């Protein structure tokens, strides 16, 4: 009919598949994305002031009201040290109540938290700090020397700052942030080149956590185990999801995230209901539970196990489902997928039954759309290999001070 037309210009997608793809991306949900992260926590603290909020590595619990007061004390201390609204604030601590209070306090000030892993070598730290430009550094005194070596001004709060008397220091004036205000910057691993700082807005985090609550509702009595390094984006939902819902956060002892026996013990003693593993650590955890069957009984409180960060092998799903069936555990396994550039996770696949073949990455989360496109950015038929493209509210604001790369991506 048109012998001059290129084959590449032919639309080969059948109408039925076009309709299936449209249904696949029909993810609209009327979430309220207007409130910033600290406002949501403050509202929850007002609703459940006496409920346990944070459980430290020794098992001591702090109520919502007391944790809110700790965050306020740290935020006022940071403000007194010159930290300003909108400023990048690097946070570098081992996992601890002070680390948590500092992250929440940075958000309360309207600043942007930038989590950095303790022990980061100077050669990797320098390009990170160069990309950030002007920033503040809040860290444990043990890490101060490294940041000073890189030419930074360093703030090292003692744990006592969380318990400073607030008499005469009224609460920070209410200064709600726009939903498009930046909340955090997380740097990619740099495994394929120079690390890139991904800047994520409050509304993007809100969508991610409200979707999670809509599918896996938690509340008072639930306990999330915080064991992911805060420099890794999975930590975002561990750090904040609980605080909007009246649940609790248990802080795993630093280093224990590499020890299956200590993780199992923490699940039992803290009554953990929500847990995350990358697949390589899930394999080690399953190896331990299968070698010591009695340890599996420590998981009786667990409701949800999430995996992400690496492809989940079918064999691990089969092993987990066999274990939970044998021990009569009620812990659902769910596979999540997503890049740091799209606010942690963008798709979800329940693994309540072992799939016949490879474990899929599932369907898009709320208010997010995913496409498999060809090199000309056109939808491909089902089963044809292409590139994944992501759109929606969770797509990050961009890379910090990398406009060329932001435009490309």
Separation between Cα atoms, residue 300 and residue 267, nearest integer Å: 9
Predicted TM-score (pTM) of this structure? 0.96
What is residue 121's predicted lDDT score, i.e. its pLDDT? 87
- Phi, then psi, of 271 in degrees rounded to 5: 55, 45
- Phi, then psi, of 109 in degrees rounded to 5: -75, -5
Q: Is the pLDDT of residue 394 over 80?
A: yes
The burial of 355, by beta-carbon neighbours within 10 Å (0-12 exposed, 13-18 middle, 19 or more buried), is given as middle
Q: Is the pLDDT of residue 53 over 50?
A: yes
Which whole number is the average pLDDT over 391-396? 98
Which whole number is the average pLDDT over 65-74? 97
Which whole number is the average pLDDT over 91-97? 97
Q: For residue range 160-191, what is the model confidence (pLDDT) as tens digits? A: 999 885 544 455 555 789 999 999 999 997 66
Which helix (H) or strand (E) is 348 found in, with range?
A: strand 347-350
Q: For residue range 223-262, what is the model confidence (pLDDT) as tens digits? A: 999 999 999 999 999 999 999 999 999 999 999 999 999 9
E-strand spans in 93-180?
112-115, 135-139, 154-155
- Phi, then psi, of 341 in degrees rounded to 5: -70, -5
Q: For residue range 301-328, what is the model confidence (pLDDT) as tens digits? A: 999 999 999 999 999 999 999 999 999 9
Tell me the torsion sign for CA atoms 299, 278, 276, 367: negative
Q: Is the pLDDT of residue 362 over 70?
A: yes
Q: How far is CA 136 from the centre of its chain?
A: 22
**Cβ atoms 304, 215 nearer than 8 A:** no
Q: Give the pLDDT band of residue 8 (cuts 50, 70, 90).
A: confident
Share of the chain above pLDDT 90, in %: 88
What is residue 171's predicted lDDT score, i.e. its pLDDT? 54
Separation between Cα atoms, residue 13 and residue 92, nearest integer Å: 50
Share of the chain above pLDDT 70, in %: 97
For the chain, how are helix, strand and coil distributed in percent, rounded to 5? Answer: 40, 20, 40
* 159 Cβ contact list (under 8 Å, min separation 6): 96, 97, 98
What is residue 329's predicted lDDT score, i.e. its pLDDT? 97
Q: For residue range 257-293, what is the model confidence (pLDDT) as tens digits? A: 999 999 999 999 999 999 999 999 999 999 999 999 9
Q: Diameter of the chain by CA atoms?
A: 83
What is residue 168's predicted lDDT score, i.e. its pLDDT? 45
Q: For residue range 366-390, what is the model confidence (pLDDT) as tens digits? A: 999 999 999 999 999 989 999 999 9
Instruction: Report which of residues 124 and 240 the model is more confident about.
Output: 240
Q: Give the pLDDT band of residue 12 (cuts 50, 70, 90).
A: confident
């Amino acid at each position: 009919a048109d012998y001059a037309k290129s084959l590449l210009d032919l639309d080969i997608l059948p109408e039925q598949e076009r309709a299936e793809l449209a249904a696949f991306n029909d993810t609209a949900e009327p979430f309220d994305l207007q409130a910033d992260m600290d406002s949501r926590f403050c509202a929850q603290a007002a609703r459940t002031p006496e409920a346990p909020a944070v459980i430290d590595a020794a098992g001591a619990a702090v109520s919502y009201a007391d944790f809110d007061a700790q965050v306020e004390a740290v935020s006022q201390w940071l403000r007194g040290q010159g930290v300003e609204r909108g400023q990048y604030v690097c946070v570098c601590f081992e996992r601890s109540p002070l680390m948590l209070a500092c992250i929440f306090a940075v958000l309360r000030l309207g600043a942007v938290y930038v989590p950095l892993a303790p022990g980061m070598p100077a050669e990797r730290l320098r390009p990170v700090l160069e990309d950030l430009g002007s920033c503040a550094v809040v860290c444990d005194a043990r890490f101060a020397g490294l940041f000073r070596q890189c030419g930074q001004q360093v703030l090292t709060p003692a744990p006592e700052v969380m318990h400073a008397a607030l008499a005469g220091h009224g609460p920070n004036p209410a200064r709600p942030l726009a939903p498009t205000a930046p909340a955090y910057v997380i740097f990619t691993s740099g495994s394929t080149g120079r690390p890139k700082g991904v800047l994520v807005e409050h509304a993007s985090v809100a969508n991610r956590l409200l979707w999670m609550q809509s599918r896996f509702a938690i509340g008072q009595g639930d306990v999330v185990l915080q064991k992911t390094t805060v420099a890794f984006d999975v930590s975002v939902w561990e750090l904040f999801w609980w605080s909007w819902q009246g649940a609790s956060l248990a802080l795993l002892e630093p280093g224990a995230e590499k020890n299956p026996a200590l993780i199992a013990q923490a699940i039992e003693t803290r009554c953990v209901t929500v847990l995350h593993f990358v697949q390589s650590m899930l394999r080690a955890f399953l190896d331990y539970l299968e070698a010591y069957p009695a340890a599996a009984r420590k998981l009786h409180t667990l409701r949800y196990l999430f995996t992400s960060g690496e492809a989940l092998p079918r064999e691990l799903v089969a092993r987990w489902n066999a274990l939970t069936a044998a021990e009569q555990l009620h812990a659902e396994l769910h596979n999540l997928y997503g890049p740091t550039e799209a606010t942690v996770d963008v798709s979800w696949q329940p693994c309540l039954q072992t799939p016949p073949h490879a474990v899929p990455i599932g369907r898009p989360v709320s208010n997010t759309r995913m496409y498999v496109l060809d090199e000309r950015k056109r939808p491909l038929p089902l089963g044809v290999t292409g590139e994944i493209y992501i759109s929606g509210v969770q797509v990050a604001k961009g890379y910090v001070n990398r406009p060329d790369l932001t435009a490309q991506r």
